[in-house]
Every structure is written in C-alpha cells, then in structure tokens.
Amino acid sequence: MRNNSLYFRPALFAGLIMAVINFAPGLDLVNCFCCAGLFIGGVLAVLFFRLDVPPDYKIMNIDGFYLGLWTGIFAAGFETVLNITIGPFIADIKFQMLKNILNRILNGMQMPSGLMDQLSQAIAAAKHPGLIDTLFSFFLVVVVYSIFTIFGALLTTAFIQKQKATPK
C-alpha cells in the first residue's frame, strides 16, 4: 500500500505555482493554449514527487492520478483565495488587457454590440463576489483543474516509466 501523504507536498507546491500562473494578469493567457497552465501543474507535481521519493521508487500511473487530483484541488483552493483577496484589485487590469487584446484581434473593426457591456458587468461581479458564486466557481474549478492536471501528471508518469524501461 502506498503512502498517500507522499502526494501532498509536491501537489501543494505545484498547485500554488499553477494558481499563480492562472491568476496573474498576462500569465493567465497561457491557458489559451489547450489549458497549458493546468497541464504544467500536473507535470510539476510529478517532477516534485520524483524529487521527494527514493531513486528506486517505481512511479506508477496511480501516483500520477493522485498527484494530478490533489494538485487540481490545491490549485483551485489557492486561486479561490487569490480571487477573493487580490482579485478585486486587479480586475480592472485584467479587463484592460482583455480589451486591448480584443482591439488587436479585431484590428479596427467594430466590436459586437453589447460585448463591452457584458465584460464590464463580469468585471463588476468579480470585484464583489458573493458566497454562492464563489462556492460554485470553486467546485467548477476543482473539476476542470483536476481533469487537466491528472492528464498532465499521467502523461509525465508514462514518460518517466518509458524512460526507465528503455536500456541506456
């Protein structure tokens, strides 16, 4: 039986890094590339785990699964705390960045009517999140983050297993 507490420290560090990547203005755009920031969280969890265990420890797929799951849960928790504490202060910065990106994409064309109003409403809601909105967002983020971090962790685990299986 494997010791499940081995997963917590690597997942905690990877989850913290992942939450910062997903929260920081500009860095959060990395997720536009197939949720790369979430995938990176799973990869980091396995790499940190590999540093924590003895060299003869055989990393298995179940390790990747648990590392991805815990990383997604920790990252969702950290990001929820960041959204509650710092989020209202940087909401306008994120809105301005998004507005600039949309202007560059549209390249002088007229924006669809109501788009800026909807974005403004979303930013206003982000500045004053309610308890129900925060809880719903947290649980939704746990599911999405866990799926992608599990995927990243399982792929990294398979890569490590393949590396060890090939003769040098």
Percent share of the chain, pLDDT over 70 = 95
Band the pLDDT of 167: cuts 50, 70, 90: low
Query: Residue 113 carries which side chain, given as an amino acid letter?
Result: S
Q: Identify whether 167 is part of a domain.
A: no
Query: Residue 41 carries which side chain, given as an amino acid letter?
Result: G
Q: Identify whether 25 is part of a domain.
A: yes
Q: How many domains does the chain have?
A: 1
User: Pick the residue with more confidence: 133 or 110?
Assistant: 133
CA-based angle 159:43:77, to the nearest 5? 150
* Phi, psi angles (nearest 5°) of residue 127: -75, -25
Q: Identify whether 106 is part of a domain.
A: no
Query: Residue 53 carries which side chain, given as an amino acid letter?
Result: V
Q: Identify whether 59 is part of a domain.
A: yes
Q: Which domain holds residue 57?
A: 4-88+130-162
Q: Identify whether 62 is part of a domain.
A: yes
Q: Identify whether 71 is part of a domain.
A: yes
pTM of the model: 0.82
Task: Indicate the average pLDDT of the chain.
Answer: 85
Q: Identify whether 103 is part of a domain.
A: no
Give residues with Cβ within 8 angstroms of 135, minimum separation 6: none
| DSSP 8-class letter at 32 | G
pLDDT confidence of residue 55: 85
pLDDT confidence of residue 1: 47
Q: Identify whether 115 is part of a domain.
A: no
pLDDT confidence of residue 161: 86
Q: Is the pLDDT of residue 128 over 80?
A: no
Say if residues 78 and 19 touch (Cβ distance below 8 Å): yes
Band the pLDDT of 2: cuts 50, 70, 90: low
Assigned token pair, 123:
């930013």
Instruction: Convert the pLDDT of each residue in 100-117 to its tens digit.
Output: 777 777 777 777 778 777
Band the pLDDT of 31: cuts 50, 70, 90: confident
Q: Is the pLDDT of residue 35 over 70?
A: yes
